[in-house]
Structure 1
């Protein structure tokens, strides 16, 4: 399994979960979140994570006490994700379909090949597409608010 983060400028990080490892709150807090922190400290040495917001779904590991404490300690701001709302998750409404099509039919000999293919795919997406995705996300949020929380599967 891969955990992928991106922002309006492009890929932030991609983490391959080691074979046999479950994504627990501890794994997320000690492996995933430090990668995000490292990315922004390298990219924005003067400001680091100041002003950076994180959106992830409501999976149990993301909601653990350890994760909440880590998010607070590194200075991220967590955006609340509405339950059962894949129509409001940029990975679900934008990224995953294209990635699945890109990888379809490819036979990988080892896990690292999958990681490299994902990395290439993410890198090849023009920066403008990442930016447009965030504008689309904001429009989706507005639409859901205007319609009092209704679910929209195919926007």
Structure 2
């Protein structure tokens, strides 16, 4: 016999999915955290999300190139699923070099470039592009949180700005990020 009455105590922070509608973004976040703890690599998680959710799980990759004076270029990757060496080299040659020349007219002959050690950044094609651009590439240690201030000075506040906003499509996300920048 089923008794109605007070429900058993729930652990702190528990979500009763059966009793309330939980936004899909919250569920997706929980699933991602779960799969990451199980050791599933991000590309596999993305593939599985695309299979289950289709366009609902769309993702935009933002590339922010900046110097000590501010943002030089903000680029959004919507159509392509990952940044590869060809995309990154084209970005540097066609979309980063011109704004640097326009915005930073002095001392262009001694540009020092710092990037992390992601595969597209260290690929032979990218390194050849950087050599042609005559940019000095600063070495980046494998683990150097002090050299990645964008993690806490850029993307943290950006997430805070976007938190709680209902953005319906990629265009609204891009416009929101551009307004914040």
After superposition, the C-alpha distances for 1:58-98 in whole angstroms (9 at most, x for unaligned) are 10000001111111111221111110223321212321111
TM-score of the superposed pair, with normalisation by structure 1 = 0.70
Larger radius of gyration between Structure 1 and Structure 2: 2
Alpha-carbon shift at residue 16 of structure 1 (Å) = 0.7
- CA contact 1:5–1:13 (8 Å) conserved in 2: yes
Query: Can you give the 5+ residue segments of structure 1 that lack an aligned partner in the other structure?
Result: 123-155
TM-score by length of 2: 0.61
Per the TM alignment, residue 4 of structure 1 is displaced from its structure 2 partner at its CA by 0.5
Matched with 2:175 is 116
Instruction: Tell me which of 53, 58, 81 is aligned to 2:112.
Output: 53
The answer to whether 1:19 aligns with 2:79 is yes
| Distance across 2 between alignment mates of 1:52 and 1:10 | 15
SS in 2 for 1:5: strand
Q: Quick check: 1:73 aligned with 2:132?
A: yes
Aligned length: 121
Query: Distance in 2 between the 1:32 and 1:107 partners?
Result: 32
1:34 matched to 2:58: no
Tell me which residue corresponds to 1:96. 155
Q: Deviations over 1:36-67 (max 9, x none)?
A: 101112224565x3222221111000000111
**Partners of 2:105 and 2:141 in 1: CA distance:** 32
After TM superposition, the runs of 4+ consecutive aligned structure 1 residues lying more than 4 A away are none
Higher relative contact order (CA 8 A, sep 6+): 1
Structure 2 unaligned runs (5+)? 1-60
For 1:3, the equivalent position in structure 2 comes to: 63
* Partner in structure 1 of residue 25 of structure 2: none
- For the residue of structure 2 that corresponds to 1:50, the secondary structure is helix
1:32 CA displacement:
4.0
The alignment yields a C-alpha RMSD, in angstroms, of 1.8
